[in-house]
Amino acid sequence: MTTQPVVIVGAGPAGLTTAYELGKNGLPSILLEAGKQVGGISQTVNYRDFRFDIGGHRFFSKVPTVNTLWEEILGEDFLLRPRISRIHYNNRFFEYPLKPTNALIGLGPVEALLVCFSYVKTKVFPGPDEKNFEQWVINRFGSRLYQIFFKTYTEKVWGISCTEISADWAAQRIKNLSLKEAVRNALFGAKNGKNREVVTSLIEQFHYPRLGPGMMWERCEELVAGFGSQTLKGIKVERIHHRNGQVRGVSGRSLSGDLVEFDGTRFVSTMPLRELIVAMDPQPPEKVVQAALGLRYRDYLTVVLIVKREDVFPDNWIYIHSPEVKMGRIQNYKNWSPSMVPAPSRTSLGLEYFLWDKDEEWTWSNERLIELGVRECAHLRLIHPREVEDGTVVRMKKAYPVYDQQYQDHVQTIRQYLATFSNFQTIGRNGLHRYNNQDHSMMTGVYAARNIMGLSHHDVWAVNTEKEYHEEGRMALPSAGDRMVPTQVQGAVDESLSGQEAIIQIVFAKLDPVALGVAVGVVTGLAIFAATAILLLKGGPVIGPRLSLLGHFLFGFNMTWGGALIGCLEGSLMGFSIGYAGAFIRNGSLRTYAKFRRWREETDRRRHLLDKV
């Protein structure tokens, strides 16, 4: 094994994890970081002892290796924090994860009824092939809920129509979350059972470094230095020199403008793929260059406000779906960790704006952006402008790789080209053009380090495409496009089934008794309440003589407002029982019929066995 340092471009979570894994095994490295801080998008910025994230980073992972690394690096400074988050829409706050009572009150009975009808309609008549984000979400939540809670916020974040966003993004980020899972979580909790997984979007607590995520990576930088490795900041790599299928060195500029060069035998890059391909020397084939130029990145800007108030709101963060403001999300860093602010009497808020670097807001002065943030917070009635005593702005270019309809073809072309190099790996969010979480980026670093050390051969591109991250359907990794869209059928088909039995399972997918019961129950209860309310408002000498006959079936129901509430409750329970029983009977009947068809198929095969001899 060579002892020459491994050259790593980028000191974010992926790059530092690579150096940490190499260092623990006696192999030094040189990290070249373009910025003044390590951590990449996971850095923590310090302004007058007020600390804040670039977006807010929960530390939660299903991967034991990553959890072990976090504990190794940070130890006692790794806090367990409660998650509190809400959605702001139409001048109301909705708890997220979903709480049925809160959502019903916030939406109102009419809108809630329309949401339920929309969901049932989608389950009975699902949409076409899921090629874009809009189709993917509607098939799981219904069009009404999509319009309310998904469309506005998603288009704020990405700056393009939901029909232009690939379904890959939803499959990767929302994963196995659906309306039935949200309702089940609200009713029974997000517990890990024998056949249940915690949905990442619904976790109720997470770990967090005491002084923010940057604390993790600054500590990692210290540990890496103890292994004999170097982290050089302010070095922007501009050229990747290669020859005969091997990278021979990299060159770039320091902050002072001096040319610097680094040779080596093993290289790892976390550079955005678009910048990487442009930096290759000699230049790659034209189709590879064009593929790289076709990749897009969403830029990020946060306006931090220092507020003279001890408590502003209890949430870690709030999603701002309201279309009348440009802000997409607001963080309350004090609620992530009390140590993020220097004084209990002050609160720091992070107002997040998702932009293209060509947008006019990107070039606005800090003062103008702070003024915008104060005005929007006041419009949302979160603070009073006089409470803001200071503020600052942080910009992060290429924060989010865009999953448009062409990205997978571009990435596949670049991936095939990079595979021709025997000593060069790309890792991390931008190095793979994949919207990875922090733990996924770290695993690409672990895999890259093990590949270099010859311990095993891992495909870094496979991280976050495996079963534990995509539980809605059987996943495939086709070489043509690396497309990560789950099948339309909910749940994988049993491979032991064959012939007509498998066809029956595919065509007549299993109904979820809880989901159908909740849907029928809500519709039934609201329908009884609405019908009673209409007749009560209409009035007359005898109110609803026909509807009052329901009193024979619903104990305590009569044509009064109290009776309407009793009818709503009992109708919901009766509807739930009918829906649950209907799904249970239907599923059992189909199972029985499938077994019968299997028996007939096997009998037929035995009868014609001699034909195969």
For the stretch 39-57, pLDDT in tens is 999 999 999 999 999 988 9
186, pLDDT greater than 70: no
Q: How far, in Å, CA of 259 to CA of 261, rounded?
A: 7
Q: Torsion-angle region of residue 344: left (phi > 0), alpha (psi -120 to 50) or beta?
A: alpha
The residue range of the domain holding 216 is: 6-83+208-294+405-462
Mean pLDDT for all residues in the chain? 84
pLDDT of residue 487: 32
Least confident of 30-34, 382-386, 463-467: 463-467
The set of residues, in sequence order, having a beta carbon less than 8 Å from that of 150 and lying 6+ positions away, is 137, 141, 162
pLDDT digits (tens, 9 = 90+) for 214-234: 999 999 999 999 999 999 999
pLDDT value, residue 471? 31
Report the alpha-carbon distance of residue 266 to residue 604 in Å, rounded. 61
In a domain, 159, yes or no: no
The owner of tokens 């070249």 is 32
On whether residue 475 sits in a domain, the answer given is no
Residue 545 φ/ψ, nearest 5 degrees: -60, -35
271: DSSP letter? S
Q: Which of 425, 447, 462 is the last residue of a domain?
A: 462
Distance CA 82, CA 335 (A): 9
Q: For residues 479 and 475, what is the distance between their CA atoms, to the nearest angstrom?
A: 13
Q: Are 263 and 383 found together in one domain?
A: no
* Residue 98 confidence (pLDDT): 61
pLDDT at 482: 39
Q: Which of 215, 206, 235, 210 is nearest to 45 (CA)?
A: 215
Residue 64's pLDDT is 92
608 pLDDT more than 50: no
**Residue 65 near residue 17, CB atoms below 8 Å:** no
Q: What is the pLDDT of residue 182?
A: 53
User: Mean pLDDT, to the nearest integer, of 336-358?
Assistant: 96
Of 144, 151, 141, the C-alpha closest to 180 is: 141
The answer to the question of residue 189 being in a domain is no
Q: Are residues 529 and 579 in the same domain?
A: yes
* Torsion 430-225-449-441 (CA) sign: negative
Tell me, yes or no, whether 305 and 367 share the same domain. Answer: yes
Kindly state whether residues 378 and 453 are assigned to the same domain: no
In a domain, 358, yes or no: yes
Model confidence at 284: pLDDT above 50: yes
pLDDT higher than threshold 50 for residue 274: yes
| Structural tokens at position 411 | 């990435």
- Asked whether 119 and 113 are in contact (CB, 8 A), the reply is no
> Quick one: 451 and 331 in the same domain?
no
Q: Which two tokens stand for residue 19?
A: 């150096």
Q: Is the peptide bond before 97 cis (omega within 30 degrees of 0)?
A: yes
Confidence band for 485, pLDDT divided at 50, 70 and 90: very low
pLDDT at 612 over 50: no
Final residue belonging to a domain, choices 444, 462, 480? 462
Q: Which of 356, 387, 355, 352 is nearest to 373 (CA)?
A: 352
pTM for the structure as a whole: 0.74
Q: What is the pLDDT of residue 494?
A: 45
391 phi and psi, to 5 degrees?
Answer: -170, 165
96-100, 289-293, 350-354, 372-376, range with the lowest pLDDT: 96-100
Residue 572 is predicted with a pLDDT of 86
Tracing tokens 């009404």 back to the chain, one arrives at 144
Give the tokens for residue 408. 């997978």
C-alpha 352/C-alpha 349 separation (Å) is 10
**Any idea what the CATH number is for the domain that residue 440 is in?**
3.50.50.60
